[in-house]
Amino acid sequence: MICCLNPYCYDPLNPDDLTACKSCGTPLIPLLRDRFKIIEPIGRGGFGKTYLAEDIDKLNERCIIKQLTYQASNEEEAHKVQQLFQQEARQLQQLGEHPQIPALFAYFQSNKSFFLAQQLIEGQNLLKEFEQKGAFSEAKIRYILQNLLPVLQYVHTHNVIHRDIKPDNIIGESVTGKLVLIDFGVSKVIAPTAQTQTGTMIGSQGYASPEQVKGKVKPSSDLFSLGVTCFHLLSGIDPSVLWTDRGFSWVDDWQRYLGDTLDPQLAYVLNRLLNKDRQQRYQSANEALRDLQGVPQHQPSGYTTTRSTYSFPAQSSSSNLPARSPVSQTSASRTSNSSRQPVSVTVVRDKPISPLTSVFGAGIVLVVGVIGGFIWLSSQIPRYQTPVTSPLQSLPLQQVSPTPNHPPSNYPPRNQPPPSYPPPSNYPPPNYPPPAPPFPQP
C-alpha cells in the first residue's frame, strides 16, 4: 500500500500499482526522499500530520514522519510556523542523545512541504492508558515524576523549555517501561542570561502556567504543566474544563477533586508544582526530585489536615502499571464524561501552617512558661508576716445614740434620771493623811 501525502485526503491508502490517489487524485510518492516509505497516517497535531513509515536506509526500521500542514493566514505567520517546525528538528538533534527523548533521523523539504523523520517509540501515551485503565494510583504518579523530572532537568540544562507537557506527549515504552517525552514542536530556546520577555502564548489550554498564558516562560513553567498532568491522571478531571470554569483558582484547592486521601509528602510536592506564583514554585526539576525521594527541604509535616465532602465524577482506579501494546504515537481525544456517575466522598486536603501562626504560638508558650516559673520560684521563698493595724483601730471611740425604735436592753428608760450608786465603804481611806493646816495669814 502507498499512502497519499495530501494532508486533507479522506482515504489516503492506495494499492501499490497506482500512481495517483484514488480519492483525491494527488500524485503518489512510493519513497519519500528516496528513503522513507509511508505506511499509514497515525495522527494529527496543531501544526502537522504524523505518519508511520519505514527507513529503507536502516533495514526498514520503523520511524515517525511528521509533515507540516499548518495553513497560515499570511506570510509572516507561515514563516513563524516554519521556524517552529525547523526548531523542533534542531531540538531533537541536540537532545535526542537522551534515552527518553526521540532521536532525529532527517529534516527535509519535498514538494513544497516540510518533513521531519524521528525515532518511533513503541508504546502508548499516558492519555490513552488513562482512557483504558482509569485514574492513576499514587504509585503511578510517583513513577511519572521520578521518570520525567530527570528528563526535564536535562532539557532545561540545555536551555530549552518544552512548553507543551501533557499526557498526550508522554509515551511509556512497552519494552523498558520508561517514559519518553515527545513533541518538541513548540519548545523554546532561552539564553542562559536572558531576561523574561513577553511573547506569543503557545501551549495547551489548562496545562499552561499563568506566566505562559501571558507569553512569558521559565523552566518552572514546564514544572507547572507536569503538576497539572499528574492532577489530570490522578483525579480523572480534564484541567481544561476547570480552567474554563474557574481560571487558575482551581489550583488553590485542587485536592477537593480527589477521591482518596493523598500521601502528605506527595501532596506537598504537587502543591509546589501547582503553585500559581512561579517564585514559590520549584525552580528546578532536581529540587522537586529531592523532595520526592528524600527528606523535603520544606518539611511536609507543617501541614494540617482538614476534611470536606464533595461530589465529583466517579472513575475506576487501577493499582498496577498496565501492560502496553506496541502502537504508534497518536493524538488522542479528551476524556469522555458520558459514563461518569456523581458520587459523594470524604477527602482530606492539606493546608500549610502560616509562619506567623507558628511564631505567635511559640510566643504564647514562652510567656506561659515564664509566668509559671515565676510563680513556682515565689512559692519557694519564705515570707515574714508583720502585724497589720486596721485603720479603724486608730479612731477614738464615740458614744452612739441608740436608734429610737430599737434601744438597747441595758440602757435606762427615756426621761428618767440615771440610777445613783452608793459611795464605796472604804472611802475615804482610813490611813489617808489629814489635810494640811491653812497657811497662816499675815
Residue numbers annotated as active site: 164
- One DSSP character per residue, 276-339 reads SSTTTS-SSHHHHHHHHHSS-SS-GGGEEEEEEEEEEE---B-SSPPP--------PPPPP-TT
User: Which backbone phi and psi does 440 adopt, to 5 degrees?
Assistant: -60, 140
Cα–Cα distance between 15 and 6 in angstroms, integer?
16
The total of other beta-carbon atoms located within 10 Å of residue 91's CB is: 21
Contact 100, 151 (CB under 8 A): yes
With cell 524521528, the residue in question is 118
Angle at 263 between CA 262 and CA 267, to 5 degrees: 75
C-alpha cell at 108: 527535509
What one-letter code names the amino acid at 358? S
CA 184 from centroid of its chain's CA atoms:
25
Residue 196 half-sphere exposure toward CB, CA atoms < 13 A: 12
Cα–Cα distance between 184 and 163 in angstroms, integer?
8
Give per-residue burial for 13-46: e unless 16+ CB within 10 Å, then b: bbeeeeeebeeeebebbeebeebbbbbebbbebe
Total residue length of the chain: 442
Cα–Cα distance between 436 and 433 in angstroms, integer?
9
- Which strand (E) or helix (H) includes residue 270? helix 264-273
C-alpha cell at 53: 513509515
